[in-house]
C-alpha cells in the first residue's frame, strides 16, 4: 500500500510582533463615515473599533514579493498571475489553486489577523485625530489645470504594535527547514518593502520581531501533549533591535 504523504507531521508556531515604523494604511470600508471623516479609512475590528492587519494582506504581500524575487509569476493581458509550480518552495508553502492544467496543493502557511497590542497607549495619545489613528492630508495636482485636490488618508501611527502569529503545517516528507526559511525570507522582503497602501509615498514600513518558535508534533495531539521549543536559528533581521 502506498504511503500517505498527506499525514500531518507537526505544526510550527511563529509568534512575535509587528511594529509600524511609519504610518500604516490598510484600507477598510468608508460606509457610515460621518461628514468630516477621512476620505480613505483603515480596516477596523467591528467590535473593538481597533485597527488591525488582516492576515490575508500580510500573506499576499509575502507571496508576491517572493515570486518577484525568484521570477515565479506571469503577466497575461496586463494581469499578474501567481506561480502554479507545485514543486517550487513558493507553491509548497503558499499553495496552488487547481485549474485545468494544474493539481491543487494546500497551503502550509496560516497567517493570523494581527491585532493591536498597545491599544492602551494609542487610546491615551493626545494628538490622534480619530480613535487609535491619525489623519494625513495629501494634495494631488491636476497636471492640466494645476488645481490642488486635497484628500485625507487615515493611518495607524508609527509606533503601533500588533501581535503576530503564524502556523506552518509540516506534512510527512516535507523539508521543514525549507518551509521555515521560505517564511522568514518572505518576512525579510516585506520588512525591506512596505505593507498596505501608498508605500512609495512613505507609508507601511514595518519591523517584524519573532519572539517565540515552538511546535506540536503528531504525538502531542494524539496524547494531549504541549508545545515545545524549536532548535532553529531565527534570522538576525527578525530578532528585533
User: Which band of pLDDT confidence, cut at 50, 70 and 90, is reported for residue 35?
Assistant: very low
Q: Contact at 8 Å (CB) between 145 and 132? A: no
Secondary structure letter of residue 202 according to DSSP: T
Dist. CA 189–CA 69, nearest whole Å:
9
Highest mean pLDDT among 3-12, 78-87, 104-113: 104-113
3-state secondary structure of 178: helix
Q: How many CB atoms lie within 10 A of CB 177?
A: 9
For residues 36 and 16, what is the distance between their CA atoms, to the nearest angstrom?
A: 36
Instruction: Provide, for the chain, the percentages of residues in helix, strand and coil under a 3-state DSSP scheme, each rounded to the nearest 5.
Output: 25, 35, 45
- pLDDT band for position 11 (50/70/90)? very high
The per-residue pLDDT for 100 is 55
Distance of CA 70 to the CA centre of its chain: 19
First to last CA, the chain: 52
Which helix (H) or strand (E) is 207 found in, with range?
A: strand 206-217
Of 81 and 16, the structure prediction assigns the larger pLDDT to: 16
A 10 A CB-CB count for 153 gives: 21
Nearest to 109 by CA among 94, 96, 120: 94
Mean pLDDT of all residues in 213-221: 95
Amino acid at each position: 500500500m502506498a504511503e500517505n504523504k498527506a499525514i500531518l507531521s507537526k505544526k510550527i508556531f511563529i509568534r512575535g510582533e509587528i511594529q509600524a515604523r511609519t504610518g500604516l494604511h490598510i484600507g477598510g470600508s468608508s460606509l457610515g463615515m460621518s461628514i468630516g471623516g477621512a476620505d480613505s479609512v483603515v480596516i477596523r475590528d467591528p467590535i473593538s473599533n481597533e485597527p488591525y492587519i488582516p492576515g490575508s494582506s500580510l500573506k499576499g504581500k509575502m507571496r508576491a514579493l517572493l515570486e518577484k524575487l525568484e521570477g515565479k509569476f506571469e503577466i497575461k493581458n496586463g494581469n499578474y498571475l501567481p506561480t502554479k509550480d507545485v514543486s517550487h518552495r513558493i507553491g509548497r508553502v503558499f499553495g496552488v489553486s487547481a485549474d485545468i492544467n494544474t493539481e491543487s496543493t494546500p497551503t502550509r502557511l496560516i497567517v493570523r489577523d494581527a491585532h493591536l497590542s498597545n491599544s492602551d497607549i494609542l487610546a491615551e495619545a493626545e494628538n490622534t485625530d480619530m480613535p487609535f489613528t491619525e489623519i494625513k492630508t495629501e494634495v494631488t495636482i491636476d497636471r492640466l489645470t494645476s488645481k490642488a485636490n486635497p484628500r485625507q488618508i487615515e493611518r495607524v501611527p508609527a509606533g503601533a504594535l500588533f501581535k503576530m502569529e503564524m502556523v506552518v503545517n509540516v506534512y510527512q516528507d516535507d523539508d521543514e527547514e525549507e518551509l521555515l526559511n521560505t517564511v522568514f525570507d518572505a518576512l525579510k522582503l516585506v520588512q525591506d518593502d512596505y505593507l498596505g497602501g501608498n508605500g512609495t509615498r512613505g507609508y507601511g514600513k514595518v519591523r517584524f520581531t519573532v519572539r517565540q518558535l515552538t511546535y506540536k508534533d503528531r504525538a502531542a495531539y494524539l496524547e494531549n501533549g504541549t508545545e515545545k521549543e524549536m532548535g532553529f536559528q531565527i534570522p538576525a533581521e527578525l530578532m528585533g533591535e
